[in-house]
Amino acid sequence: MAQDDKGNALAAGVAGAVIGAAAAAAAIALADEKNRKKAEQVLADLQKQGNKVLKEISKKALEIKDAVSKTSEEAPKKAAAKK
């Protein structure tokens, strides 16, 4: 049990070091105005793509919801018709 805790602590320490190094590298890269502009453009493009995907997923979800609603409304009618 104690060995697991040491392994978890080591993994957390390594992960923290990697995250810290990535944050430092990002800070250095973003210190340059050209790099900041590029990063802003990439983020804006990603946001546009995310919005498109979200709209498509929402549309599909509504279609599925409508299909399920129709099916659940028709089921009692079909059951009554069989009687």
Distance (Å, whole) CA 41 – CA 36: 9
The answer to whether the CB of 12 falls within 8 A of the CB of 18 is: no
pTM beyond 0.95? no
Element (H, E) at 70: helix 33-82
Distance (Å, whole) CA 39 – CA 42: 5
The residues spanned by each domain of the chain are 1-31, 33-83
Type of residue at 70 = K
Could you report the per-residue pLDDT of 32-59, keeping only the tens digit for each?
A: 888 778 888 888 999 999 999 999 999 9
Instruction: Check residue 32 and give its pLDDT.
Output: 80
Type of residue at 80 = A
